[in-house]
């Protein structure tokens, strides 16, 4: 799809050693209260906690520092105690792939477990588009669900990511994009010209975020914090396969934008494509969307619909999709299927996607087609991501689709 040239850089390990023995606990991923408790544990008196927490927060999330020694407004003595007790190390970058259009993918190795064995790997993808840049992050290693068109679904779940590891993806991306106030990107190709490189976050990487809600919530609170990373919740989108009982909490407690992996308009087909549908069928899912806290025409729910040739892409399906979503403030994203080795599906023909999109369009949904950027870099390692962006008509023509 994308014709862009790709460079692959195998970077030298920059994070915790794969078998470096016991690793001190990290301060990344803790809320202010928990951070205060850690400081208190190091002897910071109650009355100074607020100020000290603010100072640390500033260094961690506004300045992106990983070395306590650089935190110049913190007393030398406390810096020493912090350095002796905690780490601020990032996940290690195992590989970085950069497309000429600026799309980047990082393969990150997580810190080793207590047994000292190398940590598992996850993927994080950055997609720049004009003035905006979207970071697609993972919430689990693998996924317990087994959607038949998804490569992640074929991988054994290793575990939920911690809040540290979820926030860590944002921090690594900001490191590599040079998004800290006193930094600059190594390679500015394709990046937004503005200082903000990551304007949006989507939880659309590996895993089902609503099965790891507490950690996702803790991490997104940090990402949205106005004194730190400052990615507003209106610019954070959580994509779920439809874990109905958690949807209400997601809106009420976290308040981020919601995306639903719908992919089929009939229960029999959705049971097959997205097997969690057997537990939470379409009617229940859509009811949870209708009542999603905060949903409005200004805060629409995105419905993702992967285009599978001859499976869910008929004109009747398109009409039913429009009918089903009537009354829900919705956006529709048609996602051309991203094939992977051994996948039992093919991507719908472009003409069919256009016919399908036309019906969706006529029903009042603008620009419904998204296509994965950097599809070639995903294919290079046989892995799939849904990180995708709207493709303009002219870009589609250029891609020859
Ligand atoms: N587990 C969550 C979020 C991660 S998947 C969910 O399912 O929503 C993010 C999106 O990528 C989902 O809409 C998913 O259905 C879609 N997706 C998965 N595999 C895909 C593929 N091979 N081609 C296109 N989209 C895919
Ligand atoms: Fe898991 Fe989402 Fe893939 Fe389904 S589509 S297997 S829920 S990651």
Q: Which residues of 132-162 are buried (b: 16+ CB within 10 A; e: fewer)?
A: bbbbbbbbbbbbebebbbbbbbeeebeebbb
Cα–Cα distance measured from residue 390 to residue 249, given in angstroms and rounded to the nearest whole number:
29
**Beta carbons within 8 Å of 129's beta carbon, 6+ residues apart:** 389, 390
| Percentage of the residues of the chain whose pLDDT score is greater than 70 | 87
Q: Which is higher by pLDDT, 158 or 167?
A: 167
- Based on C-alpha coordinates, what's the Rg of the chain? 22
How many Cβ atoms from other residues are within 10 Å of residue 63's Cβ? 15
d(CA 71, CA 12): 26
In this structure, of 85-94, 118-127, 256-265, the range with the lowest mean pLDDT score is 118-127
Q: Which of 121, 123, 129, 165 is catalytic?
A: 123
Share of the chain above pLDDT 90, in %: 74
Residue in 3, 70, 248, 381 annotated catalytic: 381
pLDDT band with cut points at 50, 70 and 90 for residue 401: very low
Contact by Cβ (8 Å): 187, 149 = no
Across 152-181, average pLDDT: 91
- By mean pLDDT, which of 80-89, 146-155, 324-333, 387-396 is the weakest? 387-396
Token look-up 């990373």 returns 229
**Contact criterion met (CB below 8 Å) for 98 and 115:** no
Q: Go through the domains of the chain in sequence order and give each one's CATH number.
A: 29-87 (1.10.150.530), 92-377 (3.20.20.70)
CA distances from 289 to 160, 281, 283, 303, 329 (A): 25, 13, 10, 10, 9
CA–CA dist 387, 141 (Å, integer): 16
Is residue 225's pLDDT more than 70? yes
Q: Residue 14: phi, psi to the nearest 5? A: -125, -5
Cβ-Cβ contacts under 8 Å for 251 (sequence gap 6 or more): 258, 292, 293, 294, 295
Query: Could you tell me if the CB of 129 is within 6 A of ligand 2?
Result: no
> What's the 22 CA to ligand 1 centre distance in angstroms?
35
Say if residue 158's pLDDT is above 80.
no
Mean pLDDT, range 66-92, rounded to an integer: 96
> Can you tell me the mean pLDDT for 55-83?
96
**Low-confidence winner among 7-11, 18-22, 272-276 (lowest mean pLDDT):** 7-11
Residue 112 has a pLDDT of 86
Q: For the residues 172-190, what does the mean pLDDT come to?
A: 88
User: What pLDDT is attached to residue 378?
Assistant: 54
Give pLDDT tens digits for 333-343: 999 998 888 89
142, 208, 385: residue to mutate for ligand 2 pocket, most atoms within 8 A of CB: 208
pLDDT in tens, 307-358: 999 999 999 999 999 999 999 999 999 999 988 888 999 999 999 999 999 9
Minimum CA distance residue for ligand 1 atom 24: 337
Question: What per-residue confidence (pLDDT) applies to 376?
Answer: 62
Give the mean pLDDT of 149-156: 84
From 138, 142, 152, the mutation candidate for ligand 2 (largest count of ligand atoms within 8 A of CB) is 152
Helix (H) or strand (E) holding 358: helix 350-362
pLDDT tens profile 235-277: 999 999 999 999 999 999 999 999 999 999 999 999 999 999 9
Average pLDDT, the chain: 87
Q: Do 315 and 355 form a contact (C-beta atoms < 8 A)?
A: yes
Two tokens, residue 119: 């940590």
Cα–Cα distance measured from residue 327 to residue 166, given in angstroms and rounded to the nearest whole number: 34
Express each pLDDT in 373-391 by its tens digit: 666 665 322 333 323 222 2
Task: For the beta carbon of residue 294, count every other beta carbon within 10 angstroms.
Answer: 14
Separation between Cα atoms, residue 171 and residue 60, nearest integer Å: 9
Mean per-residue pLDDT, 354-380: 78
List Cβ<8 Å contacts ≥24 apart for 55-58. 56/27, 57/32, 57/225, 57/227, 57/228, 58/227, 58/228
Structure tokens, 142: 């693998």
The mean per-residue pLDDT over the stretch 35-59 comes to: 97
pLDDT value at residue 298: 93
pLDDT for position 21: 58
As a whole number of angstroms, the distance between CA 191 and CA 185 comes to 9
Please tell me the distance from the alpha carbon of residue 73 to that of residue 62, in angstroms, as a whole number: 14
Whether ligand 1 lies within 6 angstroms of the CB of 138 is answered as no
- Asked if pLDDT for residue 6 goes beyond 90, the answer is no
Predicted confidence at residue 372, as pLDDT, reads 62
Give the whole-angstrom CA distance, residue 176 versus residue 384: 22
**Cβ of 311 below 6 Å from ligand 2:** no
């Amino acid at each position: 799809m994308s014709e862009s040239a790709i460079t692959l850089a195998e970077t030298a390990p920059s994070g915790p050693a794969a078998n470096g023995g016991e690793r001190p606990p990290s301060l990344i991923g803790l809320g202010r209260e928990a951070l205060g408790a850690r400081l208190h544990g190091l002897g910071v008196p109650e009355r100074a906690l607020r100020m000290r927490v603010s100072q640390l927060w500033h260094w961690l999330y506004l300045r992106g520092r990983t070395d306590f020694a650089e935190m110049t407004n913190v007393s030398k003595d406390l810096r020493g105690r912090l350095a002796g007790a905690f780490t601020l190390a990032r996940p290690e970058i195992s590989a970085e792939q950069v497309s000429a259009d600026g799309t980047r993918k990082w393969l990150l190795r997580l810190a080793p477990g207590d047994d000292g064995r190398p940590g598992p790997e996850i993927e994080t993808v950055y997609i720049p588009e004009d003035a905006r840049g979207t970071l697609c992050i993972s919430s689990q290693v693998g996924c317990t669900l087994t959607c038949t068109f998804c490569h992640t679904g074929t991988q054994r779940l290793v575990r939920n990511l911690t809040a540290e590891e979820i926030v860590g993806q944002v921090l690594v991306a900001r490191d590599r994009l040079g998004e800290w106030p006193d930094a600059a990107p190594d390679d500015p190709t394709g990046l937004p010209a503005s200082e903000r490189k990551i304007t949006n976050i989507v939880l659309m990487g590996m895993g089902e975020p609503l099965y790891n809600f507490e950690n996702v919530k803790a991490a997104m609170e940090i990402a949205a914090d106005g004194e730190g990373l400052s990615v507003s919740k209106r610019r954070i989108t959580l994509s779920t396969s439809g874990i109905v009982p958690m949807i209400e909490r997601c809106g009420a407690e976290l308040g981020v934008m919601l995306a639903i992996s719908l992919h089929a308009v009939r229960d029999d087909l959705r049971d097959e494509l997205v097997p969690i549908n057997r537990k939470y069928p379409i009617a229940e899912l859509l009811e949870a969307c209708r009542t999603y806290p905060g949903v409005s025409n200004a805060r629409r729910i995105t419905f993702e619909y992967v285009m599978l040739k001859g499976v869910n892409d008929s004109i009747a399906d398109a009409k039913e999709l429009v009918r089903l979503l009537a009354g829900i403030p919705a956006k529709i994203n048609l996602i051309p299927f991203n094939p992977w080795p051994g996948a039992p599906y093919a991507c719908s023909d472009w003409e069919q996607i256009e016919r399908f999109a036309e019906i969706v369009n006529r029903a009042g949904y603008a620009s419904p087609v998204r296509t994965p950027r950097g599809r070639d870099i995903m294919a290079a390692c046989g892995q799939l991501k849904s990180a995708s962006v709207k493709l303009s008509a002219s870009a589609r023509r250029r891609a020859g689709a």
